[in-house]
A and B are shown apart, each in its own frame.
Chain A
């Protein structure tokens, strides 16, 4: 696999599949690149970042959008923390459209959106809580996140809708870490809206860096 940002002789730090509906976490070191691959297309990948040295410094969607002056994430976006620092920078994106305003699904919000009958379904916040707990994180630390490969157009009147994803199989996004970060992912299990094509699928994560001589 090659990409614009991959060095000629990369050292692959990690390369694995996240099963459909599953959580995942790893540290991405400063200078390393995180690639997330939407292997089958139309699969939302809910993602949070925390400064590895201070988990209270965490991803801020509002600061990220305000800093770039626009409402969606793509190549060139700086991923900004609640302390106003750049955590990672998006360097490649074959999809071109990612959300960070719609947050994660939860059992509780599902009841409001889709009916009380959807309460006992798996949800991204369950994934974030389970995976975050391994790192000492609790619900207080789970903030609205990045939704890679999720299509949420906002029209000038403010209408806000999760619509069909535009990602194709093997679309990917790559970010270079500008500090050591803890990455928390929920491979979204939602089946009540189009963010996963109503059928959650596995995704792939790769962490790589330039080979050291």
Chain B
């Protein structure tokens, strides 16, 4: 294909801009992300706690979460995996988009300071605390088939079916069950592109704190991750604490960690000003 000088100049300008964005996103971010939270460093004050839930091993939980509320997901046993879906409660066609979440932040890994994005360029959750940074965005949750292959029986609960049930409880259906993200799932990709499971990155008492950045519907599934090599199906309970975190200030880590985060929160602000009474 022969390009005109004008076309070549346009290509060069677009390429230069991308290279600058990439450098800012991966190397020269305005704020370096902090180390993982220490497991005993940020107890929640009793007065901040709104309610608690224990999700039994293998089960799911649904809830509404108001903007500004937070959930702490606690991996008490160190063996659990919690998969998450979420939808904008004002328009459930807006939902978690794992692909945009990782693409926009130049990282397939989730950790303190990063956000979970919707398909509409807005932030659903901020990850305000996180002890492990060992989470999976790529491989999804368990299914009847993966459980059968791993444990030799279909008589085990799985994330796919849990999400179908959870969607039903929220007035949604199978079409609304999209790809998920999974916390406490230490999956990475090796140099050959193979998935690697590193159990050493997961510890009893790990937790992750998610702050809602708009009013949400959400579903959690507490089932072993399909890449967890354990051959015995023995899911353990996870503890959930809903609490009122300190309001996000002007220098909030998640809102200022990158130019991308700043722009995503600008999109939230436009949405909130127009459709939600302040």
Residues of A near B192 (CB, < 8 A) are: 70
Bound-state CA distance A108–B117 (Å) is: 11
Given the complex, which residues of B lie within 8 Å of A158, measured CB to CB? Answer: 107-109, 188-189
Cβ of B178 within 8 Å of any chain A Cβ, yes or no, is: yes
Residues of B close to A166: CB separation below 8 A: none
Contacts known (A72-B193, A115-B263); A103 close to B143, Cβ less than 8 A: no
Q: Are B175 and A61 closer than 8 Å at their CB atoms?
A: no
Separation of A142 and B179 alpha carbons in the complex (Å): 11
Residue B38 is within 8 A (CB to CB) of chain A in the complex: no
Binds B, one of A7-15, A24-32, A189-197: A189-197
Residues B95-136 near A (CB distance < 8 A): 97-100, 102-109, 117, 119-122
Chain B interface size, under 10 / 10 to 19 / 20 to 34 / 35 or more: 35 or more
State whether B190 touches A156 (Cβ < 8 A): yes
Residue of A nearest to B194 (CB): A70
In the assembly, what is the distance between CA of A194 and CA of B22, in Å? 11
Contacts of A159 in B (CB 8 A): 26, 106-108
Per the 8 Å Cβ criterion, residues 153-168 of A in contact with B are 154-162
CB < 8 Å neighbour of A71 from B18, B105, B195? B195
| A63-B143, A141-B175 as given contacts; A102 in contact with B107, CB under 8 Å | no
B265 → chain A, closest Cβ, in Å?
10
B205 within 8 A of A: no
Contact with B along A107-119 (1 / 0, CB 8 A): 0111111111000
List of A residues within 8 angstroms of B143 by Cβ: 63, 84
A4 within 8 A of B: no
Which chain A residue lies CB-closest to B101? A103
**Distance between A49 CB and nearest chain B CB, rounded to angstroms:** 15
Contact (Cβ within 8 A) A138 B93: yes
Write the nearest CB–CB distance from B164 to chain A, whole angstroms: 10
CA distance A109 to B94 in the complex (A): 13
User: Which one of A103, A108, A161 contacts B267 once the chains associate, using CB atoms below 8 Å?
Assistant: A108
Contact B138 A71, beta carbon cutoff 8 Å? yes
Q: How far is the CA of A116 from the CA of B262 in the complex (A)?
A: 11
Q: Do B188 and A156 have beta carbons less than 8 Å apart? A: yes
Identify whether the interface residues of B are mostly helix, strand, loop, or mixed.
Answer: mixed
Q: Specify which chain A residues have a CB less than 8 angstroms from the CB of B194 in the assembled complex.
A: 69-71
Indicate which residue in A63, A139, A157, A201 contacts B93 across the interface (CB closer than 8 Å). Answer: A139
Partner of A112 from B10, B191, B267 at Cβ < 8 Å: B267
Is the pair B99, A144 in contact by a Cβ cutoff of 8 Å?
Answer: yes
A198: Cβ under 8 A from any B Cβ: yes
Q: Which residues of B contact A104 (CB under 8 A)?
A: 99
Query: Does chain B have a CB within 8 A of A91?
Result: no
Contact in complex: A140, B93 (CB < 8 Å): yes
Q: Which of B21, B141, B145 contacts A113 (CB 8 A)?
A: B21
Q: Determine the chain B residues whose CB is within 8 A of the CB of A199 once the complex forms.
A: 3, 7, 10-11
Q: Is A66 an interface residue (CB 8 A)?
A: yes
15 more contacts with CB within 8 A, not counting A71-B195, A101-B137, A155-B191, are: A65-B139, A70-B194, A70-B195, A71-B138, A101-B102, A112-B264, A113-B260, A115-B263, A116-B263, A154-B108, A155-B189, A157-B188, A158-B189, A159-B107, A192-B17
Using a CB–CB cutoff of 8 Å, the interface residues on chain A facing chain B are: 40, 56, 60-63, 65-66, 69-72, 82, 84, 101-104, 106, 108-116, 125, 138-144, 154-162, 191-194, 197-199, 201
Task: Name 5 A/B residue pairs within 8 A (Cβ), A-sorted.
Answer: A160-B103, A192-B18, A194-B18, A197-B11, A199-B3
Q: Which 7 A-B pairs have the closest CB atoms?
A: A103-B99, A62-B140, A158-B109, A108-B121, A144-B99, A66-B139, A198-B11
